[in-house]
A and B are shown apart, each in its own frame.
Chain A
């Protein structure tokens, strides 16, 4: 086994132990919270941040290991917002203001997120916000819905269109530059909010051009969700296999019935494929490949469908007990369904793939 594989195994094992108590299968169906200070202490917030900015200097491959384990526990954490913020700040040119904020996010001193369209419109579309330059002042306006971890964020990095240059990243403070309204959703393990900017003046030194456009941010977000979905699916499958081996009906374990066994086999096959697609996309992102969009769209489209299928199958095979609140399985079904819709539906990602087909492909 390579050193990297050993490092990943260790990271995974530590994460699994830390997150296990937060699983709804343990808490009795309530969201289990792992707060920012715990994430910071574990060193997860700055995993792929250079050491010069308070991080570990690892890559997105290690971030993905943690994201999968968070999905496996379906824990309520502010990790996604931080992962997006680190990605956004890492993709703009260094400056004093940027470096300070990146360091603060990596060390868990500032709770941050990125306001970038989280629905299907986020795939290659223009940002929902814009800045307007008026002499020396710059004003931000627009609205972005379903921003991960926005309700608790101390900084929101708003992706905005600068008519003079293209997309930029704007550092905004809730209550000062933007309003944040919570958007409660069925899945209680995710905190989403609506970010509204109504023309407040923003600090010109805290506006950074996104030279590579929105694509890398949207891809990182979609892949983060795909990694989460693999964890969700894995947890659902493991719980189902354990239950099917133990639960007896008609005088034998239900897992000995082909109808049950084959359903578990189908989930296993789907998850095996999802894991490979996510691993390949993660390797492409971590390795800095220029065109990762295809691999990310494949991983996202496949993994979230696997998660919905795996959790749905788990709910069915657990029978009545799995439908109770206390069992906790419902949390995984809800999280899988939300993962499916966050940062591009499977259909939207496949539409992106399909645009490459044919002689007149775009």
Chain B
């Protein structure tokens, strides 16, 4: 961690980022990236990632030795300026720079880090193979198997909701390596090469009509034991540790994006409609906006606080869940409000720019897309249970043994 920075240092950095954004954010990228073929989106994302990398800002949250090391106040400034200048988001690399990196940093071997962290900077794309058709909220009941065979594992099963899997080079994979153990004690965590024989990726069209979610079928896929993360059968524990480690970092950026989305919403409410009346003239709209601004301010504060306490090793067991739950439900309420205020015209925007944030201004689509935050990554209901049990220490729900489930 670098020394505390003065407000003047931060303002100088802000000016530097702002100037860089003015020179580098591609003009008109929103319209250019609306309705484009998938290949154009991927090329655009990879190019933007390298531009940010060139500036030293692709992975500010990583440790300094791997190319990051930026202080939290500076990261906040960086994300504020990128959002204020409407820079494209790092959508394709999201899992790579957050989940994959956090897993490698927290639980990976030196060799694994040296192999993958520089590769991620060079554009290696990752996806996450956690959920399965029968293992959603009850993730620990996953059935994909990893059978040990000498110095390798042979994996069979089916993964679901692997975002970006079509473009992924590598996959963070959870698979059952001991089918006799209690369900949380028989899972191992693997790094899987997506080009391995036996990996079959099929896109799933989602509620927005996009196809970034995928099914991944695994048929006798071989994974060398060098690609095991953490001890065999300790994969559940590795996943728990790495999921909460990255959550604050991702939220720092998303909260600043949401704040930028709020400013567009205010601008939209300030524009006279066909009857010449502004939505802002309605005190109910003003009240709603003020409520969102207040909640956003609280979200940004709580994100900064979480990241700073993470640096100091003072994060509580449910703190990341509080932030994830609050962000996702705030996003949903705000985009829902925006869709209502924007009225019928909002319904004519039937495509949103790829590479934009979750609050793109295509409010109806943004509203529908907000369920991508309240369902995955531990649904809102799962987060509330974590907050109740790990945060408040409330008693666990009695576990009912299912026949053949190996319930613990």
Contact = CB atoms under 8 A, between A and B. Distances in A.
Contact of A268 (B266, B299, B305, B387): B387
A276 interface: yes
Interface in A346-360: 347, 349-351, 353-355, 357-359
Nearest to B388: A261
A255 interface: yes
A273 B327 CA distance: 11
B287 A350 contact: yes
A261 B298 CA distance: 23
A256 B385 contact: no
Interface string A132-174: 0000000000000000000000000000000000000000000
B298 A276 contact: yes
A97 interface: no
Contacts of A273: 295, 298-299, 301-302, 326
A324 B337 CA distance: 40
B298 A351 contact: no
Interface string A262-277: 1011101100111011
A254 to B, nearest CB: 9
Nearest to B314: A1
Give the interface residue-count category, chain B: 35 or more
Chain A binding surface, main DSSP class: helix
B266 A274 contact: no
A244 B394 contact: yes
A354 B283 CA distance: 8
A297 B293 CA distance: 11
Contacts of A241: 392-394
A255 B396 CA distance: 8
A257 B270 CA distance: 45
A298 interface: yes
A258 B297 contact: no
A245 B388 contact: no
B346 interface: no
A241 B397 CA distance: 15
B298 to A, nearest CB: 4
Output the residue of A260, A273, A297 with the most chain B CB within 10 A. Answer: A273
Contacts of B293: 298, 353
A255 to B, nearest CB: 4
Contact of A358 (B270, B298, B398): B270
A255 B394 contact: yes
Interface of B: 266, 269-270, 278, 280, 283, 286-287, 289-291, 293-295, 297-299, 301-302, 305, 318, 322, 325-326, 381, 383-385, 387-389, 391-398
